[in-house]
Amino acid sequence: MKVAATDSAVNISPVPDTWQRRHLLGLEELSRDDILTLLETAVELKTATGGCKEKLSILKGKTVANMFFENSTRTRNSFSLAARRLGADTVEFSASSSSLSKGETLIDTAKTIEAMNVDAMVVRHSTPGSPHLLSQNVGCSILNAGDGPHEHPTQGMLDIMTIYEQRGTLEGLTVAMVGDITYSRTARSNIWGLKKLGAHVIVCGPSTLVSKTWEDFGVEVSHNLDDIIPRCDVLNLLRIQFERQYTRPFPSVREYAFLYGMNGTRMAQAKDDILIMAPGPINRGVEITPDVADGPHSVILHQVTNGIAVRMAALYLTTSVNQREG
């Protein structure tokens, strides 16, 4: 792969004045305009980097710290690559390898990293609100890379971007998220983002993992995948978050796959142009069978590439506000 520094030749649009957010904590709090700005910037940066392959220098001289208090490979590498594609330096921090095991508090850890002149921190934590806590206690930009089951805004945006690339709009599309909604930050970020862009959102899964209360927020709730498949333009198949569950919410993986696994038989009931998505890591044979995951409707690998685009956009937009405010 050729990674060329082509910065001087590329002109990236300046950050619009309407974008005022120093942090990216979640999609619920963003306006429709904010979400469109993120989306358009991501598309532009993807093009400018030749499909997230080439380097720019719009974040040259800036430093991005990856602070992961929970395991991650894909999101962490995606953020690292995004930062480096824009010319930033990166610092890697993980809880197991550093101070937290010595009893340092989260805030002290963040302040220590910030003192190394960091411009943005990418934070993943198992507790909802932890990035919000840091945003109130440090001066740099905070980007939420997943806070427990609460939000994962860049994942929501990359899912939206993937649909947008394929369809040109979100307006009027029916998007179903299938599986573990209760413990899924991806589901929450998707719900807020999709609804603001005019999509009809369905959450589908076992009644122990899909609350009826989502109806209060204008989301359709279903417990029967076969009922909804024919209406869906997009199916986003979520992973079961076994690690967050205290009481197993369904009797067996076999029963789950029987009720909610997306397989060839179910695909036959779907629209011809249905998009199959999964935030990964995918469990083949559980929420999705290999023929579907690798089939012509699958855009799972596009999602991965768009992750870099969205994260470049998020870093560019948030740190520009920091700079503006001095």
Site residues for other proteins per CB under 8 A:
28, 105-107, 125-130, 132-133, 137, 147-151, 182-183, 185, 188, 211, 213-214, 216-217, 246
Of 49, 75, 109, 182, which one is the catalytic site residue?
75
Rounded to whole angstroms, the Cα distance separating 200 from 9 reads 41
Element holding 109 (H helix, E strand): helix 106-114
Check residue 61 and give left, alpha or beta (phi > 0: left; psi -120 to 50: alpha).
Answer: left
Is 46 annotated as catalytic?
Answer: no
The sheet carrying 141-147 orders its strands as 89-94, 63-68, 120-125, 141-147
The DSSP code for 244 is: G
Looking at the DSSP bridge assignments, the partners of residue 65 are 91, 121
Nearer to other proteins, 93 or 183 (CB): 183
CB of 152 to other proteins, least distance (A): 10
Distances (CA, A) of 14 to 17, 108, 110, 186, 281: 9, 34, 29, 29, 35
Of 32, 60, 74, 248, which one is the catalytic site residue?
74
The sheet carrying 174-178 orders its strands as 220-222, 200-204, 174-178, 234-237, 275-277
Nearer to other proteins, 149 or 249 (CB): 149
CA 77, 313, 233 angle in degrees (round to 5)?
85
Give φ, ψ of 212 to 5 degrees: -60, -25
Nearer to other proteins, 143 or 267 (CB): 143
CB of 189 to other proteins, least distance (A): 10
Other CB atoms within 10 Å distance of the CB of residue 142: 25
CB of 243 to other proteins, least distance (A): 13
Nearer to other proteins, 183 or 256 (CB): 183
Is 111 annotated as catalytic?
Answer: no
Nearer to other proteins, 6 or 126 (CB): 126
Query: Position 1: which residue type?
Result: M
CB of 234 to other proteins, least distance (A): 22
CB of 28 to other proteins, least distance (A): 7
Is 195 annotated as catalytic?
Answer: no
Nearer to other proteins, 57 or 211 (CB): 211
Is 74 annotated as catalytic?
Answer: yes
The DSSP code for 262 is: B
Distances (CA, A) of 30 to 36, 131, 196, 213, 321: 10, 16, 9, 22, 15
CB of 128 to other proteins, least distance (A): 5
Of 23, 85, 152, 188, which one is the catalytic site residue?
152
Of 23, 46, 62, 124, which one is the catalytic site residue?
124
Is 152 annotated as catalytic?
Answer: yes
Q: Tell me which residues are annotated as active site.
A: 74-75, 102, 124, 152
